[in-house]
Amino acid sequence: MGNLRAYEEDRLGFLQRVAENYGPISAFDRRTTVLSDAGLARRVLGELAGTAVIRNNVLQEPIPVGEVASWPVARRLMNPVLRKRVIDQRRSQIVRLAVDHVRSSGARFFDAVEYWEPFTSRTAADYFLGEDGGRVPALVRDLLASLPAVAGNVFALPAAVPTPSRRRVRNAFAELRAHLLPPLTARARDPQSYDDAAGNLVRRAAQMEPRPGLDRLVNVLIGNLLASYTVPAAGLAWATWALSQHPEWITRVREEAPRALAPPDTANAQMPHTTGVLMESFRLYPPTWLLTRQLSSGAIVGGYALPAGQTIMTSPFVLHRDPANFDDPQSFAPERWGPGGNADPANFFGFGHGPRGCPGRDLAIISCSSALAALVSQADFEVTGDPTPNPRFILRPRALRIEVKVRRVG
């Protein structure tokens, strides 16, 4: 109980102290092990991915035991749909959404995460569903808004208990599901008429044996829509704040903006400064700051025999700030990711690692680079407030406000 209380009071500080005082692997309590070492984290998330499994679904309900092992099917569906080559074909649309978002900012002050959410959610809805994506961001927002009462709340009642909060989650989920079924059904009837990612998902499913049903596709779609709403918006809020603290990087990102916003045929041009700023922001402030697994059978980790049922936690925030993994880890140094830089990508866990690592990584990098390029080229901006990292479900700044002043054209 002592550790749980200390953890709840200061989650990041607690995990950093555990890393400093107890080394690569330590016991949080009898059922929970904390990994503070990049090599051990890679082992659990990589080699042991079949044994160290994710036990909660997107609604934070326990996944039924019989379904825990079925994640490779979902990955076979979604990975090809989110390949960089496929995303590049829709790049000009992503750029247009980024520029429209910034240019329609108005002179209001916004919460920095909320400022970016309409862009990240619209980009994902458009990527997956094209013109059928219209109402999707609002429905996803309702579902996400219902989750904090149950997600990450250690005192929440078990998921099977139908509390009012749980009912709200279920209702929001049912509404989103009902909204997504008709466009998926239309694509299943006539797959060749749709060139969006939902159309691709349906075509992928048709090639698989056994063929995943529409229910499965809806769940994959919902997982992706949830994951691409607040997480990348929090990443962009951190990157925007980092830029505001390091104006020399605003200049560098601005120099690259014409390339970032260029038509698709030139869009594969390298943008080391913009990518470096993003990677460095995700390193210092990984929105997905905690990765959790449960062992479905016993395994040896770091020389310890851990039993079935053991929960394993590892924090990208802690790993990224360990001098064993990155030189001078507390400083913001985007050049470490550029040509000649010495960042070791194997020690970066901002997108997870291994077969359950983020399938949306390329979409996230392309859409977030477009967003930063649009911001610095179309507007001046100021970020003020309290950047203290607040590690709840997602790592977000405690209270950052952004003011965007759009430049006149011409």
User: Which stretches of the chain bind ligand HEM, using CB under 6 A?
Assistant: 54, 71, 75, 82, 124, 223-224, 227-228, 231-232, 235, 282, 287-288, 291, 350-352, 356-360, 363-364, 368
Least Cβ distance, residue 240 to ligand HEM (angstroms): 13
| Residue 47 amino acid letter | E
Cα–Cα distance for residue pair 271/187, rounded to 1 Å: 36
Whole-angstrom CA distances from 230 to 112, 197, 233, 235, 250 are 11, 20, 5, 8, 23
52 - beta bridge partners? Answer: 295
**Closer Cβ to ligand HEM, 12 or 231, answer by number:** 231
Query: In this structure, is the dihedral angle defined by the CA atoms of residues 73, 366, 147 and 197, taken in order, positive or negative?
Result: negative
Say which residues have a Cβ less than 8 Å from residue 249's Cβ, sequence separation at least 6: 242, 243, 273, 277, 334
Which residue, 46 or 163, has its beta carbon nearer to ligand HEM?
46
- 124 vs 284, which CB is nearer to ligand HEM? 124
- Kindly state the DSSP code that residue 56 receives in the 8-state scheme: B
Residue 146 or 228 having the CB closest to ligand HEM: 228
Output 273 or 283, the one with its CB closest to ligand HEM: 283
Element (H, E) at 301: strand 299-301
Nearest 10 degrees: CA dihedral of 36, 54, 361, 214?
180
**How does DSSP assign 247-299, residue by residue?**
HHHHHHHHHHHHHHTS-GGGTTS--HHHHHHHHHHHHHS-SS--EEEEESS-E
Q: Quote the least distance from Cβ 197 to ligand HEM, whole Å.
A: 8
Q: How far is the CB of 329 from ligand HEM (least distance, A)?
A: 18
> Which residue from 13, 111, 114 is spatially nearest to 385, judged by alpha carbons?
111
Question: Which residue's Cβ lies closest to ligand HEM?
Answer: 360
Q: How far is the CB of 282 from ligand HEM (least distance, A)?
A: 6
Residue 253: CB partners within 8 Å, gap ≥ 6? Answer: 243, 273, 274, 277, 372, 373, 376
Give CA 84 to chain center in angstroms: 16
**Six-digit token string for 161:** 């208990």
Q: Could you give the CA distance from residue 357 to residue 75 in angstroms, rounded to a whole number? A: 10
Which residue, 6 or 54, is less far from ligand HEM as judged by CB?
Answer: 54
Element (H, E) at 92: helix 91-103
Q: Tell me whether residue 113 or residue 383 sits nearer to ligand HEM (CB atom).
A: 113
- CB closer to ligand HEM out of 235 and 387: 235
* Cα dihedral 297, 301, 305, 310 in deg (nearest 10): -50
**DSSP code for 106:** T
Residue with smaller CB distance to ligand HEM, 42 or 273? 42
Report, in Å, the least distance between residue 18 CB and ligand HEM: 19
Please state the closest distance from residue 72 (CB atom) to ligand HEM, in A.
9
CB of 164 to ligand HEM, least distance (A): 28
User: Which CB, 236 or 405, lies closer to ligand HEM?
Assistant: 236
Shortest Cβ 265–ligand HEM spacing (Å): 24
Nearer to ligand HEM, 163 or 321 (CB): 321
Least separation, in Å, of the C-beta of 127 and ligand HEM? 7
User: To 10 degrees, the CA torsion angle through 173, 65, 349, 367?
Assistant: -30
Please state, in angstroms and rounded to a whole number, the distance separating the CA atoms of residues 137 and 294. 31
Q: How far is the CB of 360 from ligand HEM (least distance, A)?
A: 2
Q: How far is the CB of 124 from ligand HEM (least distance, A)?
A: 5
